[in-house]
A and B are shown apart, each in its own frame.
Chain A
């Protein structure tokens, strides 16, 4: 092994060298920056396209740019250069138009190595000759954790084009710095699917408004998670039953003298105790001495003549059974508690909604009727409307406020601050939190505010990108999510003309140019 090999990870240049007979490849990396970095690295060394193919790529790029001038912008010039070498990257930070171009180039077999993130493997039918795993760990929003078997095969399974490749090749990179993180996966060990139902304010309101008691019970008592724990409970109870029968059978080995000083079973126990007492650091205490005497007297009495070996064995087995039964009971108690959780959760949220004036018993009050049509951060959005903040703010500010609903900024995300104060929203949130609304029911961030306000006032997409270090795909999805929310608010407003009009007007002004959905 050369020194260079010891001190370097396989670079993607080396990886592609090794697998060059199995292209095209989907190269999965975890992190957008990583896909770009790798593409750049590969692009310095490799060029996959023949002059003819380059012409085709150039032609497709030109066509796309004619329809959408500024498609690559200043930030994605590297992608254009890479595409002309048969290399691409694809992640949620790209604008949908650019993602669409990359996908079409890939489908036209003009991309030989595509660096992509996990989303590329969901449902979309893009098979390749091989798939490569840059790493076997991913950030799941809370922590770095190893890939599940299910996740691995969702991605790995893109390898192998039906009718063409005899096998689909999957390559896992061994990272020199973290060799222990290398994954080994078995399709036979794919994780079972578990129920994940959670009870949101909208779920409670929808159930109260539209469903009967029986239907509510059906959801709370028969959802997948409860079904699974009930099933496990049944199995555990069966096992407990079987073990108890076995224990009863064992008990038949013992004679009526069990527990008497003449029983060997008892004497073993006493001897053990005696030993411990002798070794104990408290052996000189009065009570210890007393007990030792007591035991010695008991042991001096004669032992009953019997084949005690049977009893000893049975006792040992019985003890093991008891331990197991105890464990099973513990798990059973856990499961029982879990089954009741949904009913309790439902009642908690119901109670909260009652306290906040959304419902009275099963009857929906105006706030409740409004929140019924809101599907994201229901309580926060409703309060933003009912407090008057949305209607009283200038429209650009209303747009700014709504952009932050449910937004959880990443670590290094920056946007220039807006030229107005968002203190009223912060105040409202503080008030809600103090009123007992849990944090996850009022998620809001001031971060996207300036972007939405500027876009509302007619800024160009290019200008928005100049205000932030967010990627174009993020800016796009912030505005699309707001458009979604505005639709919900418009429906929820119903007869409230002023609010409905405002929501529609905001939506109309936001849903334009680059942000208007394309590539559908």
Chain B
């Protein structure tokens, strides 16, 4: 019987659907102020740190910079914190700039390593900075994506060694989520690299977030309601625990008889 219930043609629930078609604008036509500023600073030859929330278009800054570098016949390195992301960027950049202009180097894999635009993990870039900085002679920029991973206990070391030992002729574009001490990081970089570091910050989200909580039973609550709900839940648990203890005590007394 159970079998039938499992496999039988039980009707499943379907969601309400809004009829409107989702049309995403292909590429935002106009750059945001912070994007303009970042690109201008990069083209002026500065090392730049961009801190902005996810989804605000940090990648676009990197892409514009890469466009310029490739057009000028120079080279660039793009590093990402995780390998899966390197692979994805390699594909994205191949689509944007032509596969022949993009290479990928991770520990276990290397494709087209003579290409002017190289996607690599931070570890590989760090190794180059130590062992073969000569290879980076014609590379004008290194882009560090998700730079707040400096704080990661496993990955942080490779980042710091890279920032400190990247050849002095190379300029850095660091992309980071908003962190409260981005100015501190930039002054550290300025000191350790001996160059001016510009910080471009965007605190505003392209799409604002609205946080809600979902209670048992499925009610959607705002913060105040959620706090009330949690207090109530805790009360219930406490009560149940007492009941349980009472029952245990009662049970033991019965046993004693």
Interface residues of A (CB under 8 A from B): 1-2, 4-6, 8-10, 14-21, 23, 44-48, 85, 99, 109, 112, 119, 121-125, 127, 132, 150, 153-154, 156-174, 176, 179-180, 182, 184-185, 187, 190-198, 200, 203, 206, 210-211, 215, 218-219, 222-224, 227-228, 231, 372, 375, 480-481, 483-484, 487-488, 517, 519-520
Contacts and interface: CB of A to CB of B under 8 A. Distances in A.
5 contacts: A124-B85, A157-B205, A160-B207, A162-B24, A169-B209
A198 B229 CA distance: 44
B202 interface: no
Between A16, A159, A191, the greatest number of chain B beta carbons within 10 A of the residue's beta carbon is seen for A159
B218 A14 contact: yes
B8 interface: no
A48 B236 CA distance: 36
B109 interface: yes
Contact of B216 (A132, A174, A484): A174
Which 9 A-B pairs give the minimum distances between C-beta atoms?
Answer: A160-B207, A196-B156, A157-B54, A484-B107, A179-B233, A14-B218, A47-B12, A5-B217, A192-B181
Contacts of B13: 17, 45-47
Contact of A210 (B131, B184, B207): B131
Nearest to B11: A47
B41 interface: no
Nearest to A127: B55
Interface stretch (B65-73, B157-165, B241-249): B157-165
A138 to B, nearest CB: 14
Contact of B226 (A168, A174, A231): A174
Contacts of B23: 164
B1 interface: no
Contacts of B223: 184
A158 B55 contact: yes
Given A161-B24, A168-B55, 5 more contacts: A45-B13, A158-B54, A158-B55, A173-B214, A488-B107
A197 B160 CA distance: 7
Between A44, A85, A109, A169, the greatest number of chain B beta carbons within 10 A of the residue's beta carbon is seen for A169
A81 to B, nearest CB: 11
B14 A167 contact: no
A481 B227 CA distance: 46
Contact of A171 (B14, B179, B212): B212
Contact of B146 (A122, A218, A481): A122
A112 B53 contact: no
B169 to A, nearest CB: 16
Contacts of A122: 81-82, 85, 146
Contacts of B157: 196-198, 200, 203
A184 B84 CA distance: 30
Given A20-B15, A157-B205, A520-B90, A196 B150 contact: yes
A196 B153 CA distance: 6
Given A123-B85, A179-B233, A182-B226, A174 B211 contact: no
Contacts of B24: 161-164
Contacts of B211: 156, 170-172, 185
Contact of A197 (B18, B57, B85, B156): B156
A169 B209 CA distance: 6
Contact of B55 (A4, A16, A160, A180): A160
B195 to A, nearest CB: 14
The contact size tier of chain B is 35 or more
A517 B111 CA distance: 11
Contacts of B107: 375, 484, 487-488
Contact of A174 (B87, B127, B208, B230): B230
Interface string B209-238: 111111111111101001101100110110
B209 A159 contact: yes
B219 A18 contact: yes
B2 interface: no
Interface in B112-131: 123, 127, 130-131
B144 to A, nearest CB: 11
Nearest to A9: B216
Given A167-B210, A224-B160, A231 B218 contact: no
Contact of B229 (A21, A168, A174, A222): A174
A170 B210 contact: yes
A477 B97 CA distance: 30
Contacts of B165: 211, 215, 219
A192 B164 contact: no
A520 B91 contact: yes
Contact of A6 (B131, B206, B236): B236
A494 B200 CA distance: 45
Contacts of A185: 211
A88 to B, nearest CB: 15
B188 A219 contact: no
A312 B18 CA distance: 74
Nearest to B178: A190
Contact of B179 (A150, A172, A375): A150
Contacts of A132: 214
B218 A169 contact: no
Contact of A124 (B15, B84, B179, B229): B84
B206 A162 contact: yes
A170 B212 contact: yes
Contacts of A172: 211-214, 226
B167 to A, nearest CB: 12
